[in-house]
Structure 1
Amino acid sequence: MSINKKRRGRNKRGRASRNGSRTWFKIAAAGVATAGTVGTVGFLAMKDASYVQADANGCYPGVQAHTVALIDSSEPRWDAAQTRDLSAVFDNLLSGGMRFNERLSIVTTEEGQIGAVAHPVASFCQPATTPTELVRVGAKSATLAFVQKQAEHFRETVIEPVLTAVLDPSPENAARRQERESPILEQIQSVSRMTEFREDVQERHLILVSDLLQSTVEMQACVRQGDLPSFGHFKATEYFDRIKPYSLRGVRVTVYMLIRGGYGGEYLPFCSEDELTDFYRAYFEDAGASSVEIIRLRMGAHVSGQ
């Protein structure tokens, strides 16, 4: 796959594409509407003013864990093998990588979603799978079979449709494509500004899905000579001063790096895989991340870690 990220003049950040916003409004609204159905119909038999109720996103008060998945939607996205790997990543996350009532927020770099403060295209909480979990948050208990049926319904009707849309490698709606730029660092800064992702949340996990090829007017990593310096040199630039993230102290970071072809060659002449991973590892560690794991998703191949 060749790399052909179009580099035109950058849009003013914060000005969303109307079509893009409408597209995601339909997706997110469908999820919320379905979640509302679960909340009002699924919990109707248990509704009692003396017990805590879940909101429309399936979240109970007092969320103490938050995972934010930042999806780099710039073109090209991911190939068939990488799509399968990403589907497995989120399947594993939802089947055991998140605890009950942990919030998952999904942020993208699609044309209509770039802004100074990240606005998730979807946000929902991991549903309860046992009566004990409900009792622990002050909700009314139910039979194990009923609780598990609710959880399955919520995943099938709310979570899975959103993930299917987000992980679509070639969305038909042009407004969902990002062909102008790839502002990865700006969007990480936007995520760090999210109220739900500040330090008062006990457990925070940032998942970044990206080829790590920052492409803006100011920086065209691997394509323009000198635009991927060591992080130490980059930190001293005026550009970094503008886009540096808020503190990520205590945040666990997992990067799923979409490997491209052509490092050091025709398409990406001015970097290697290791130079990219070294840069981002130093970037996240400098921001205070408690751990940084980089997992490489290769084209037409299996997952490899570093």
Structure 2
Amino acid sequence: MPGLNMAWVVLAVLPGWVLGVALQLQQAALWPMRVYALGLLGAAALGGLALVVGRRGNGWPAIGVGIALCAGALAGGGLTGVRAAHFAAQALPPALEGIDIEVTGRVASLPQRGADGVRFEFALESAARGGQALRLPALLQLGWYSRGAVGAGPVWRAGDRWRLTVRLRRPHGNSNPHGFDRERWLWENGIGATGYVRNGPRDPRPVFLGASGWHPVEAARQAVSERIHQRVDDARSAGVLAALVVGDQSAIDHSDWTLFRSTGVAHLMSISGLHVTLFAWLATALL
């Protein structure tokens, strides 16, 4: 059956893709981007050849499947390598670590509150030092720490534009075999550098530049979380509700997290369980 044979040829691309991605992830060092780009061109050529060969009879479809596997491997490895090489090319230069840099950009995530401050992702628009423009990663993770701060802290809202003085460093994580790999998590989320906003007595104050209209989903999540804290008198209950409704897990008190872990229900605070519940409520309301 020619149609069935062609289906096998097309489906063979999928395991080839997985194989190509797995092989690329084993590389100890990245190749130049042009090498991965050539791999993508080769994948396109082999994909066309697999379709031509797969249409022929007398055992040719099996050869087409083999060619499709190779095409999928080249495509998966090539695309993964291109993304990795592109991200690595935007890495923070070592010479810019630990020095004051003026950056302008947007709060790009729901700010995460902690005991000593706030942490958020920052979409960079421009950066400079001493009047000279700098090239930095497009997405940063910044913290504003209340200890040693002058005056009341800024109100950080998703989508707002700010001009800040920051200190940055390249992504790092603890060496913890079989544990959470923070450096890989930052890489997967496109965060090219981490750092903090300078807020000492001699540092320039953060300058609010207005709302940008970007990141409306994160802004809506923050607005709902704030409304919950305004309406619910008990702060601990408000934090749990905010975590369940909009995934603001930083609103949960540290003592409550300890209780949830001890009783084995911490997983119920995860975003996946939250969304299942909310969709169930929505479906019930619609019915």
- Fold-level match, TM-score > 0.5? no
Bigger Rg, which one:
2
Query: Greater strand share, 1 or 2?
Result: 2
Which structure is richer in relative contact order (CA contacts within 8 A, separation 6 or more)? 1
- After TM superposition, the score normalised by the length of structure 1 is 0.24
- After TM superposition, the score normalised by the length of structure 2 is 0.26
